[in-house]
Amino acid sequence: MILKIVKYPEPVLSQPGEPVTEFNAELRKLVADMFETTYASQGIGLAAPQVGVSKRLTVIDLSMGKEPKDRLVLINPEIISSEGKLYEEEGCLSFPEIREKVVRAAKVRIRAQNENGKWFEMDGEELLSRCMQHEIDHLNGVLFVDYLSKLKRDRVLKKFSKAAKRAAE
Ligand SMILES: [Zn+2]
């Protein structure tokens, strides 16, 4: 089932998500629906708050559905170490059509639980590192525009609300 993606400035996007404690059929259904929604939107990652569910869960697939081994489910994820710097353009399904350069760590190591509740650690570099940081930020109520200078953020948000208004007309 394709879920509705909430757009900025829905309050759920700015709230920290609750830890996931039940690893059941309902959770697996949400994960499947989140992948389906990501592919339908041609995204590479989606966090639960973006579908209105305030929980610490995100899905990532850099292959956009082409490589089953690239499907990543990160539940209650944390960044345990990071190094280096990347400065590249980023977008977000909750901010359609906005792309801005933000600074991220070039490499991260994360710790997370899978759909069955099993903890694992993994490394991400380059695009995967950036995507992991972007999605984990969502679980903390942090959005990529929060990394822009105030001046730039105000300008981007203004442009975004104008475009959203036009789309609603
Ligand atoms: Zn996003």
139 Cα–ligand 1 center, Å: 10
Instruction: For residue 77, say if its preceding peptide bond is cis, omega within 30 degrees of 0.
Output: no
Quick check: 153 pLDDT over 90?
A: yes
What are 79-128's pLDDT values in tens digits? Answer: 999 999 999 999 999 998 899 999 999 999 999 999 999 999 999 999 99
Here the tokens at position 6 are: 């909430």
Displacement of CA 86 from its chain's centroid (Å): 17
Residue 126 is among the residues annotated as catalytic for this protein: no
Choose the catalytic residue: 22, 89, 135, 169.
135
Report residues near ion ligand 1: CB below 5 Å.
92
Predicted model pTM:
0.96
85-104 exposure pattern, b = at least 16 Cβ within 10 A, e = fewer: ebeeebebbbbeebebebeb
22 Cα–ligand 1 center, Å: 24
Please count the other Cβ atoms lying within 10 Å of the Cβ belonging to residue 132.
28
What are 4-48's pLDDT values in tens digits? Answer: 999 999 999 999 999 999 999 999 999 999 999 999 999 999 999
Half-sphere exposure of 167 (CA within 13 A, CB side): 10
